A and B are shown apart, each in its own frame.
Chain A
Amino acid sequence: MKRASIIFALLLFALAACSGNDGSSEQNESGDNNTLSVWAWNINVPVIEKAAEMFAEDHPGFELNIVETGTPDVYQKITTGLQANGEGLPDVMLVEDDRLQGYLNSFPEAFVNLSEKGFADDHMDKFPEYKTELLSKDGDMYGFPFDSGPAGVFYRVDLFEEAGIDANAIETWDDFIEAGKVLRDELDVALTGIDINNDDGVYRLMLNQQGTFYFDEEGNVDLTSEESVKAMNVIQQLSEEGLNENLVGWDAWIGGLANGTVATAPSGAWLSGSLTGQAPDMEGQWGVFPLPAMEEGGNRAANLGGSNYMISSNSEKVDLAYEFMEFFSTSDEVQLYAMENGLFPSLNTIYTEDVFSEEVAYFNDQPIWTMFADLIEDVPYANYTGDYSLARDEATKAQSRAADGNDPAEALEEAAKQLENRLNK
């Protein structure tokens, strides 16, 4: 009996101890009026911290409470908060391009309309058009453009040289495939490391460069367009000719790039940060050339990835948040600092700075930033819509069917049908 009561007392104490520990709750709402809460992930954190320091010079006492989150897990947090009417969300949050339209469509009231605050009128022309369109719904802007992923083909300079391929002569995807055959025959190295069953990034790049996407401008499923079939044809050839090494998942892909399994990676500018970070010893072995065009003379600009900051309507400090984020996204100094941290800024007023024309030692002394900056203005708008993730799922299935030898047009038709069923259109 005695022992029992001691145990129960202990239990009660334990319960009391853990409920008494809520001193740190209400982190979001409370705090002084000069502190903003922010959710952002790794390489973005030092950038926004630096911006806060600079902002505090003119706004004494200004502070950020940054919660470092991981991707894609942060979207589970954001989605939960949005479904609970904005409860628990921070004042400011970082959202990637491909998620943003989905949130805007499902929770139009949850984010602060920046056009009403004057952002569009004051700063619209400082950002590439594809980006400002992406951040808009019904003509109003809801996000602060931050980084972009202007695409290029990262390639192994040393392997290309060894195989006798001239990277600058690769102008179309057909040229690219021919180069792949040479790499295959001469060096037994794969051209690309596309994760056929899980990632349709390269296919998506080809859609984007041709000015199409999963959806047309009205939001109708557009997987069966002529451009889409052409793009899927390229993927099929890469796979059927044995030019693609099916690297499953991000880690395997980065591994493949770092250990020489694959010789190229068509990807966003941010891959430069991944390469210099994960394979620092390969300095001088990598270079970049613009995305090949579908036809000779065709558009070579496309975008993959990128992110934006949004303000929660639930924030009690909307004005402060707006003021700070306006400073963040339009300050040359902040965006140049972002550059240093491996993020490619969308702010075009800095593209004339010296950093952009610098030769980058890691990339074989190539001034890669000018190349990306020159491309970014030509990136066509992609209509992600709110159904992006479903469309991506079906497109990826079509990609694996095409890679298995099915007719790309048929695979895409099937995908379009499935997608329409899932969307009930």
Chain B
Amino acid sequence: MMNTNKSKRGLGKVGMYALLLLFLVISIFPFYWMLVGSTNTSDKMFTSPPTLLPGSEFMTNLNNLDATVGIWRVLFNSLLVSGVYVVIALAVSATSAYAFAKYDFKGKNVIFTIFILSMMIPYQATLIPLFQMMSSYNLLNTYFALIAPQLCYPFAIFLMRQNFAAFPTELMESARLDGASELKIFMKIVLPSMKPALAATSIFLFMFQWNNFMWPLVAITSQDMYTFPVALSTLNGVSFTDYGQVMVGITIATIPIMIFFLVLQRHFISGMLGSAIK
């Protein structure tokens, strides 16, 4: 009896692992295919049976890609734009969300509702007015034009506000009684316990800016300002696309997101122990 039970459980385990393995393959395969594509010539993507082993053309593809779009410049642009954007946008959303969550002022709810409603406006509707505005200030094709428009990101504010709302007001009040300034309360007491929320929000902001396509596409008018999504889109031709270059480009574009996520992942965990009323 015991034995059959055990083997049954063993079988269940095997089945479980097989299932997990299947999911693992499904989620890893696109990355593997990216690797295969980036190390083979373009025509290998279309052979039958499919090419499944990495080749030795990575450097050739990389050099071609660099010749076409100047990939290191693109990487620099993307890192700069996304990096600066995350820092400023995070500051904007953290401070405004804090105000929405912890202060009472006239029209607070109305303003917040307007913020949330603005999430409903499709991006396309603001594209042309924004373009004309930037154009009339002679700001098209600048880093400023890429970073500034979405610095105030309603969803990020919403996300941070929900987290601030959960912070015990009693802690702030006792700090006030001890004579701490409002800024000090925010910086020293509230923010340190918000690391997980800050990390989540900044991943969100980073992803948004890193993948941002439509606005940079129209706002950039010279090749040396291209960010990744725009640069990769230029590899699409009407009748010919070099998939080797595309795959190398995607590989390089994926790595920073992975690093960014891995670095911030630590804060998710460390931050969880931070807030509590004792």
Contacts and interface: CB of A to CB of B under 8 A. Distances in A.
Interface of A: 1, 3-4, 7, 10-11, 14-15, 17-19, 21-22, 24-28, 37, 41-43, 65-71, 73, 76-77, 80-81, 83-84, 87-88, 90, 96, 254-255, 258-261, 268, 270-271, 273-274, 277-281, 305, 307, 342
Interface of B: 42-43, 45-48, 68-69, 80, 84, 87-88, 91, 127-128, 131-132, 135, 138-144, 147, 181, 183-184, 187, 214, 217-218, 221-225, 230, 233-242
Given A14-B88, A24-B141, A67-B223, A42 B128 contact: no
A381 B147 CA distance: 47
23 contacts: A3-B187, A14-B84, A15-B88, A22-B141, A25-B142, A26-B138, A27-B221, A37-B221, A42-B235, A43-B239, A65-B222, A70-B236, A77-B217, A80-B128, A84-B132, A84-B135, A88-B221, A258-B43, A260-B48, A270-B239, A273-B239, A274-B240, A278-B42
B90 to A, nearest CB: 10
B194 to A, nearest CB: 14
A70 B143 CA distance: 21
B183 A70 contact: no
B46 A255 contact: yes
A224 B140 CA distance: 47
Given A17-B84, A68-B68, A77-B217, A25 B140 contact: yes
A19 B236 contact: no
Ranked nearest first, the 5 interchain pairs of A and B with the lowest CB-CB distance are A259-B48, A258-B46, A22-B142, A42-B237, A70-B236
Interface centre among B46, B87, B242 (most CB of A within 10 A): B46
Contact of A84 (B47, B131, B187): B131
Contacts of B181: 1
Interface centre among A21, A24, A270, A307 (most CB of B within 10 A): A24
Given A68-B223, A68-B234, A19 B142 contact: yes
A67 B127 CA distance: 21
A7 B139 CA distance: 26
Given A26-B138, A43-B240, A271-B239, A14 B87 contact: yes
Contact of B184 (A1, A21, A43, A81): A1
A73 B217 contact: yes
A28 B48 CA distance: 46
A223 B143 CA distance: 48
Contacts of A80: 127-128, 131, 218
Contacts of A3: 187
Nearest to A15: B88
Contacts of B43: 258, 277-281
